[in-house]
Structure 1
Amino acid sequence: MNKFGSAADLRSQQAKLTGATREIRKLTGGGIDLFGKLGCYLSFEQKQLLQDAARLLDSVNKQIEHAKEKRDRYEKKAKKRRELRERLAKQLVASNYPLPGNTLEDRLEILQIALIYNRARVFDHLYSTHQLHSKLKRWLERPKQLIGWRSEAEYFASQVGSLRCDFISHLTNEIAYDDGSEVEERLRVIKQKVADCTAQIALTSEEQETLRLWTDALQSAPEGLI
């Protein structure tokens, strides 16, 4: 029974059954409320059937209580495991991909890693390789207004900062995902996919062109975090 929904779902169903049992007992209890008065019109056999139904619902409720407790223990254990994996994933990504983004070289490294990891199909799966290149080139279009930015280059640098955040978040979620393997193993598999990809082609002509465009755009961007 612990397969049928979460502990909260089971708790909700249990409350409904408890309410139904209570109403049935009112019909057979001869109380002064409406249900009790309606019970006066029931035959002895009908009251017996309702009392049997109430006992049956009590029995089902006990089963649900057991399933709820079992499910609750499972959910707490799963939550603890999930939080542990997320914490470890953040630590591994931080140590393996510091990606400071302070200098021109740092920013180009972020762009290059994002492009290569996308080509290896381990980053931003919603975008094909060509689509990601097109997206990054659109980011280089002159903004209509530079509100809050001192220059176009500074604005472009901030876009790289956003890309860094997306990459870190995506990779963290990717290796934290619980498929039964360890977090470290999921990171190792990702790195191997990237290594296999770059072993065939270090940088494609499209990647080189995108990086060239961004190099020109970022030349005059101030150093430091944007």
Structure 2
Amino acid sequence: MTGDKLKWRVSTEQVLEALRYFSAADLRAQQSKLTGTATQLKQLLDGRLSHLLSEEEVENIRVTEDLVQQLNLRVEHAKEIKKREEQKKEKARKLHQAAIDKALDKALPPITRDATNIGSRIISLTELLLAFHSQKLILHYLSSPELVSDIRRKVEKYAARSDSLWEVGDYLYRDLRGALDSFLGWAKDETPEQKLSEILELARGDVAGIRKSQADLFAYVEGQVAIEESSNVQRLRGKPTR
């Protein structure tokens, strides 16, 4: 390779700016293309067709090959920088996710099949789902009537075919946990534990109003829980969703 003709005109930082939306893998692919281009130019000069070219044309191709190789070095450096940035971000993401999991496990532990408080957990989960939704923190793609209908449909479905309401509780739990996991993943201004504690306090403050506005739903859910927890009452089939 001759002297670096791009030394004062093209920097690694300029390559990163020009390809700002490229990942390290994208830059690796770009590097491979430039390597291939430089190789093809060199093979042209060393091949059987080279004698058909004038000295000026040969020199132009040699200069072009050299420029491509020099540009390729910048891309290689940019790739390494981007790779380190991605590794740093991935490490931070994993640490944040671990903190989210820890906070959710502590504040909202999973419901086990042998738990003695499944009924009360179902009521609590229903309250929190509706409260967080009313605050526009989770499940934005559902309207309030749609969420109420979805909860009732799940209670009817699993209560009708299961020997216990554990499946109902587990389903509601996974809905709530998944939604909170997504919300906390975007909330970077506080630790997950701090943010979860804050929004749980706000949600629980709304429970009385939620229960009043959704009295029919809670009467139905609590009725199903009472049926399940009573050993002397025959399970009743839920009313079809309108």
Same fold (TM over 0.5): yes
- Verify: 1:43 aligned to 2:54, yes or no: yes
Q: For residue 25 of structure 2, what is the aligned residue in structure 1?
A: 8
| Residue 182 of structure 1: how far off its partner (Å) | 3.8
Cα distance in 1 for residues equivalent to 2:139 and 2:45: 63
Q: For residue 213 of structure 1, what is the aligned residue in structure 2?
A: 220
Q: Cα deviation per residue 1:159-195 (whole Å; 9 max; x = unaligned)? A: 3311101211221222122645543454355346536
Q: Cα deviation per residue 1:74-114 (whole Å; 9 max; x = unaligned)? A: 00000000000000011011112236373311221111111
| Residue 19 of structure 1: how far off its partner (Å) | 0.5
SS in 2 for 1:37: coil
| Residue 42 of structure 1: how far off its partner (Å) | 1.4
Cα distance in 1 for residues equivalent to 2:192 and 2:229: 37
Q: Which amino acid aligns with 2:174?
A: C
Q: For residue 125 of structure 2, what is the aligned residue in structure 1?
A: 110
- Verify: 1:58 aligned to 2:73, yes or no: no
Q: Give 1:27's match in structure 2, choosing from 44, 57, 69.
A: 44
| Residue 122 of structure 1: how far off its partner (Å) | 1.6
Distance 1:75 1:135, change over 3 A: same
Aligned length: 208
Kept in 2: contact 1:112–1:207 (CA 8 A): no
Cα distance in 2 for residues equivalent to 1:95 and 1:212: 29
Q: Which runs of 4+ in 1 moved over 6 A?
A: none
Distance 1:170 1:69, change over 3 A: same
Kept in 2: contact 1:111–1:160 (CA 8 A): no
Unpaired runs of 5+ residues, structure 2, are: 1-14, 231-242
The Cα RMSD (Å) is 2.6
Residues 161-170 or 82-91, more deviating = 161-170
Kept in 1: contact 2:122–2:172 (CA 8 A): no
Q: For residue 98 of structure 1, what is the aligned residue in structure 2?
A: 109
Q: Which amino acid aligns with 1:63?
A: R
Q: Share of identical aligned residues, percent? A: 22
Unpaired runs of 5+ residues, structure 1, are: 30-35
Q: Structure 2 length as normaliser, TM-score?
A: 0.76
Kept in 2: contact 1:82–1:178 (CA 8 A): no
Q: For residue 33 of structure 1, what is the aligned residue in structure 2?
A: none
Residues 41-50 or 170-179, more deviating = 170-179
Q: Give 2:90's match in structure 1, choosing from 79, 93, 101.
A: 79
Kept in 1: contact 2:121–2:169 (CA 8 A): no
Q: Cα deviation per residue 1:32-73 (whole Å; 9 max; x = unaligned)? A: xxxx11222211111111111011101110110111010000
| Residue 116 of structure 1: how far off its partner (Å) | 1.2
SS in 2 for 1:62: helix
| Residue 140 of structure 1: how far off its partner (Å) | 4.3
Kept in 1: contact 2:111–2:166 (CA 8 A): no
Q: For residue 184 of structure 2, what is the aligned residue in structure 1?
A: 175
Q: For residue 32 of structure 1, what is the aligned residue in structure 2?
A: none
